[in-house]
Amino acid sequence: MDRDALADFLLRRREELRPVDVGLSEGPRRRTAGLRREEVAMLAAMSTDYYARLEQRRGPQPSVQMLAALARALRLTPDERDYLYRISGHSAPDRTVFTDYLPPALLRVLDRLSDTPAFVVSPLDEVLVQNDAARALLGEAADRTGLERSGIYRWFAHPDEERRRYPERDHERHGRTLAASLRAAQGAWGSSSRAGDIERALRAVSPEFVAYWDEHEVRRRFEDHKVVVHPDLGEIEVDCQALIAPDESCALIVLTAAPGSEAAGKLDLLRVLGTQSIAAP
């Protein structure tokens, strides 16, 4: 780990970004060039003290998970991301294998979507980042770890919890789609990948998954239309648009409703109320 190089690199990249580049407000009386340390820490979901110690050359060696979060927060290009890994004492990620890296251009689009639910998802149905409207509609989904990060895993391993967001009439179709998506991911990355880990774990806990898996359906297509069940507002019909990254490592999903529809009114209400319960006093 080269602490001097890491500190200088983080500082320079932070100074080159403006708040508007990452979806933040400029705010009054801004004296710092670029982003503040606490803003980078917030975007990377780490403590300000931890990030400050990295810039002050006295922090511990960051994990690969921390480096992936910093690369997203600082909107690094693939070459800059690889450099960040190497000066931190890690090998650069294999660009042919799925990682948590998010293209800066995709993040810039997400930053500008404040009035409708939007999130970036991996081929394993892992929500990598989401906006406030998506949290209000679907709940917090970007802070999970391990196998629990994958919506495919949760759908079959924790059906009572995970399936409450979808009408029962859609459960079979949704389950088949998830199993087919997992098979496509495993075909691309091999059985020793994270996709293989999920498949083996689900075989041990879900006969339903095994039945779908053994049908050998392969599909990597996002739904054009779906019905989401909100705990307070009930069913909300939304159209789904997917903007897929050039390397197909992730996709930006945008959920909208027809103007003037009941669903559009519910999304407007959620945008105002955020994640607070409508039933709360």
Whether 192 is in a domain gets the answer yes
- 148 and 210 part of one domain: yes
Q: What pLDDT, on a 0 to 100 scale, did the predictor assign at position 65? A: 87
CA 141, CA 126: separation in Å to the nearest integer?
8
CB distance 199 to 213 below 8 Å: yes
- 111 and 184 part of one domain: yes
Query: Which CATH number covers residue 118?
Result: 3.30.450.180
Whether 279 is in a domain gets the answer no
Query: Which CATH number covers residue 17?
Result: 1.10.260.40
Distances (CA, A) of 130 to 111, 134, 202: 10, 6, 26
Single-letter amino acid code for the residue at 214: D
CB distance 1 to 88 below 8 Å: yes
- 130 and 231 part of one domain: yes
Q: What pLDDT, on a 0 to 100 scale, did the predictor assign at position 187? A: 81
- 133 and 268 part of one domain: yes
- 262 and 209 part of one domain: yes
Tokens of 275: 């994640």
Local confidence band at 193 (pLDDT 50, 70, 90 cut-offs): confident
CA 46, CA 37: separation in Å to the nearest integer?
11
Single-letter amino acid code for the residue at 53: R
Local confidence band at 111 (pLDDT 50, 70, 90 cut-offs): confident
pLDDT at 196 over 80: yes
Count the domains in the chain.
Answer: 2
CA 120, CA 107: separation in Å to the nearest integer?
8
CA 213, CA 202: separation in Å to the nearest integer?
10
pLDDT tens readout for residues 23-70: 777 766 767 668 889 999 998 889 999 999 999 998 889 998 899 889
Whether 207 is in a domain gets the answer yes
Whether 33 is in a domain gets the answer yes
Which helix (H) or strand (E) segment holds residue 264: the answer is helix 262-273
- 81 and 131 part of one domain: no
56, 87, 118 — which closes off a domain?
Answer: 87
Whether 281 is in a domain gets the answer no
- 124 and 234 part of one domain: yes
Whether 269 is in a domain gets the answer yes
Strand pairing report for 127-130 and 225-230: unpaired
- 81 and 112 part of one domain: no
Local confidence band at 95 (pLDDT 50, 70, 90 cut-offs): low
Local confidence band at 176 (pLDDT 50, 70, 90 cut-offs): very high
87, 117, 132 — which closes off a domain?
Answer: 87
CA 167, CA 237: separation in Å to the nearest integer?
11
CA 63, CA 73: separation in Å to the nearest integer?
15
44: helix, coil or strand?
coil
Whether 96 is in a domain gets the answer no
pLDDT tens readout for residues 124-156: 999 988 998 999 998 888 778 889 999 999 999
Q: What pLDDT, on a 0 to 100 scale, did the predictor assign at position 275? A: 57
CB atoms within 10 A of CB 167: 14
User: Average pLDDT for residues 157-186, to the nearest whole number?
Assistant: 92
- 139 and 246 part of one domain: yes
Which DSSP category does 150 fall into?
B
Instruction: Supply the mean pLDDT for the chain.
Output: 87
Instruction: Give residues with Cβ within 8 angstroms of 248, minimum separation 6.
Output: 123, 220
87, 116, 133 — which closes off a domain?
Answer: 87
- 148 and 211 part of one domain: yes
Whether 114 is in a domain gets the answer yes
pLDDT tens readout for residues 239-253: 999 998 877 788 999
pTM (2 d.p.):
0.67
- 63 and 172 part of one domain: no
- 48 and 121 part of one domain: no
Print the domain residue range for 222: 104-273
Which helix (H) or strand (E) segment holds residue 243: the answer is strand 234-244
